[in-house]
Amino acid sequence: MESLKYTIIKNEDQYFNYCNQLEMLTSSNVGKEDEIELLILLIEKWDEEHSTLSESDPIQSLKYLIAENKLKAIELAHILGVSKGLVSDILNYKKGLSKEVIRLLASHFKVSQEAFNKPYKLKSSLNSHLRNASVMNTKKEVKN
Residues 44 and 61 in one domain: no
**Are 69 and 104 members of one domain?**
yes
Mark whether 73 and 133 lie in a shared domain: yes
Question: Is the confidence at residue 139, as pLDDT, over 50?
Answer: no
Instruction: Tell me the chain's radius of gyration from C-alpha atoms.
Output: 19
**CATH value at residue 132:** 1.10.260.40
For residues 57 and 125, membership in a common domain is answered with yes
Please answer whether residues 80 and 116 qualify as being in contact, where contact means their C-beta atoms are separated by less than 8 angstroms: no
pLDDT score recorded for residue 138: 47
Predicted pLDDT at 64: 85
Together in a domain, 65 and 127: yes
Domain span including residue 71: 52-137
What is the C-alpha to C-alpha distance for residues 110 and 114, in angstroms, rounded to an integer?
12
Residue 143 within any structural domain of the chain:
no
Are 130 and 78 in a shared domain? yes
In a domain, 142, yes or no: no
With helix as H, strand as E and coil as C, how does the chain read?
Answer: CCCCCCCCCCCHHHHHHHHHHHHHHHHHCCCCHHHHHHHHHHHHHHHHHHCCCCCCCHHHHHHHHHHHCCCCHHHHHHHHCCCHHHHHHHHCCCCCCCHHHHHHHHHHHCCCHHHCCCCCCCCCHHHCCCCCCCCCCCCCCCCC
Residue 32 inside a domain? The answer is yes
Task: Quote the CA–CA distance of 78 and 66 in Å, as a whole number.
Answer: 13
Q: Give the tens place of pLDDT for each residue, 22-52.
A: 888 877 766 778 888 888 888 888 877 776 5
Q: Which of 25, 50, 75 is the last residue of a domain?
A: 50
Q: Please tell me whether residues 77 and 21 are part of one structural domain.
A: no
Q: Mark whether 26 and 78 lie in a shared domain.
A: no
Domain boundary among 32, 50, 68: 50
User: Looking at the predicted structure, is the pLDDT value of residue 78 above 90?
Assistant: yes
- Whether 128 has a pLDDT exceeding 70, the answer reads no
Confirm whether 111 is domain-assigned: yes
Shared domain for 68 and 17, answered yes or no, is no
Q: What is the pLDDT of residue 52?
A: 53
Model confidence pLDDT, tens digit, residues 79-112: 999 999 999 999 998 889 999 999 999 999 888 8
- The Cα-based distances of 16 to 8, 11, 53, 88, 144 in angstroms read 13, 9, 17, 27, 58
Give residue 130's pLDDT band: very low, low, confident or very high (50, 70, 90). low
Per-residue pLDDT band at 53 (split at 50, 70, 90):
low
Query: What pLDDT, on a 0 to 100 scale, did the predictor assign at position 29?
Result: 61
Task: Specify the number of domains making up the chain.
Answer: 2
